[in-house]
Amino acid sequence: MKTIKDFNFKNQKAIVRVDFNVPLDADFNVTDDNRIVAAKPTIEKITNDGGIAILMSHLGRPKNGPEDKFSLKHIVSKVEEVLGKKVTFVSDSVGAEVEAVVANAQPGDVILLENLRFYAEEEKGDENYAKQLANLGDVYVNDAFGTAHRAHASTTIVAQFFPENKCFGFLLAKEIESIDKVLNSSEKPVTAVLGGSKVSSKITIIENILDKIDHMIIGGGMTFTFIKALGGNIGNSIVEDDKLDLALEIIEKAKAKNVQIHLPIDMIIADRFSNDANTQIVNVNEIPDGWQGLDVGPKTLESLKPVIAESKIILWNGPLGVFELEKFSQGTISLGNFIAEATANGTFSLVGGGDSVAAVKQFGLEPKMSYVSTGGGAMLEMLEGKTLPGIAAILK
């Protein structure tokens, strides 16, 4: 696997695919700069070597060419603040203006191109557009894990113009290594925590990881599809009635592979979906009609604590309850604290998938995890066993 460590960028122009698709408020201020911070080591390696870093990214989903609200000009000051140096912004991604700026750049300079998706050719994976991007650099660096599952011009097609001079940036290399650590670890036990509302959205992940894990903790809304399949009463809890047989199949497959499934034992139930709801704690398979399960109960947490503590590798993908409502956040917070404690004791913990990432950030747990993935969809596809086009293009 060729990474940025294998290159010296002295007097080289590096065209770098970063993921600066960051959230902006109504005044175009960046509200979360994590993705920019994550790309900093790669950019610094290039400039510290005496190379020129030409950054390219998309922002949002522009539909018909250039739209001011999706212009990367809005993030220039934040990128400068993170990098601690001047960034030259170009109001296009290809063409004469861009070529002139690149030609005049000095070693150590950072150039940011305009939103790639202002060109329909980017998402179409157009070869001619990719070639124009490629002509700007001597080396291609992909450091955008969040878009590695898309075969776009800047993530995949451009790489073919750099048969030898292409590599992964630090961030993308770290993502690949972290997922590899979960899927191919010789250390045991390996535990996967899978939450979220639907079994159907996790089925391909479950099928791919069953051979690789020892424990599977199931939480969130998908709990109730399993509980109902096993004959329990789930009241008005969320359920996928057409997936009951699938839930039983998963239980059987896990048994055959000696994977221990941990379903909640008790539940905090509510008479409505609200912080002001009436609540009670009941056995998970005894939820009365008119009530719904919104978080795991204390007995469940007690049973999970030793499983987490003894794990050598943990994948956390999905919360245990409706953590967005304070009243039902304790299960997810407690699980996060268990994982943080295990991590402090030498366990490798990987957090990925939108809701789990949002939870660790919200509850200040992010620094206590071994690695928090920057790419929701891309990570899920890797866990499903798929080869991502953006990664394959570098490995070719």
pLDDT of 177-226, one tens digit each?
Answer: 998 998 888 899 999 999 988 888 888 889 889 999 999 999 999 999 99
**Which domain does 93 fall in, by range?**
4-168
Pair (109, 27) in one structural domain: yes
Pair (223, 343) in one structural domain: yes
Annotated binding site for (2R)-3-phosphoglycerate: 35, 117, 150
Structure confidence at residue 370 as a pLDDT band (50, 70, 90): very high
Write out pLDDT tens, residues 72-118.
Answer: 999 999 999 999 999 999 999 999 999 999 999 999 999 999 999 99
The pLDDT assigned to 300 comes to 98
Q: Residue 35 and residue 32: Cα distance in Å, rounded? A: 8
Write out pLDDT tens, residues 231-271.
Answer: 999 999 999 999 999 999 999 999 999 999 999 999 999 99
pLDDT over 90 at 44, yes or no? yes
Residues 283-298, mean pLDDT to the nearest whole number: 97
Active-site annotation holder among 131, 181, 198, 305: 198
Is 85 assigned a catalytic role?
Answer: no
Annotated binding site: 19-21, 35, 58-61, 117, 150, 202, 293, 324, 353-356
Annotated binding site for ATP: 202, 293, 324, 353-356
Pair (240, 376) in one structural domain: yes
Active-site annotation holder among 13, 35, 45, 368: 35
- 377 or 205, higher pLDDT: 205
Annotated binding site for substrate: 19-21, 35, 58-61, 117, 150
The pLDDT assigned to 147 comes to 87
Prior bond to 298 cis, omega within 30? Answer: no
**CA distance readout (Å), 169 to 78, 107, 135:** 21, 19, 20
pLDDT over 70 at 142, yes or no? yes
Domain boundary among 145, 168, 191: 168
Active-site annotation holder among 299, 305, 361, 377: 377
Pair (212, 64) in one structural domain: no
Structure confidence at residue 375 as a pLDDT band (50, 70, 90): confident
**Cβ 8 vs Cβ 49: under 8 Å:** yes
Pair (145, 223) in one structural domain: no
Of 5-19, 40-54, 177-191, 297-311, the one with minimum mean pLDDT is 177-191
Is 318 assigned a catalytic role?
Answer: no
**CA distance readout (Å), 61 to 93, 119, 178:** 16, 11, 29
Pair (190, 154) in one structural domain: no
Pair (238, 367) in one structural domain: yes
User: Considering the domain boundaries, does residue 391 fall inside one?
Assistant: no
Radius of gyration of the chain (CA): 23
Domain boundary among 128, 150, 168: 168
Active-site annotation holder among 2, 181, 212, 354: 354
Pair (97, 236) in one structural domain: no
User: Considering the domain boundaries, does residue 102 fall inside one?
Assistant: yes
User: Considering the domain boundaries, does residue 393 fall inside one?
Assistant: no
User: Considering the domain boundaries, does residue 392 fall inside one?
Assistant: no
Is 198 assigned a catalytic role?
Answer: yes
- Provide DSSP, 31-78: S--HHHHHHHHHHHHHHHTT-EEEEE---S--SSS--GGG-GGGGHHH
pLDDT over 80 at 354, yes or no? no
The pLDDT assigned to 377 comes to 76
Pair (126, 18) in one structural domain: yes
User: Considering the domain boundaries, does residue 282 fall inside one?
Assistant: yes
The pLDDT assigned to 379 comes to 82
The answer for residues whose C-beta is within 8 angstroms of residue 52's C-beta and 6 or more apart is 12, 13, 14, 46, 102, 105, 106, 107, 108, 109, 110, 111
Is 124 assigned a catalytic role?
Answer: no
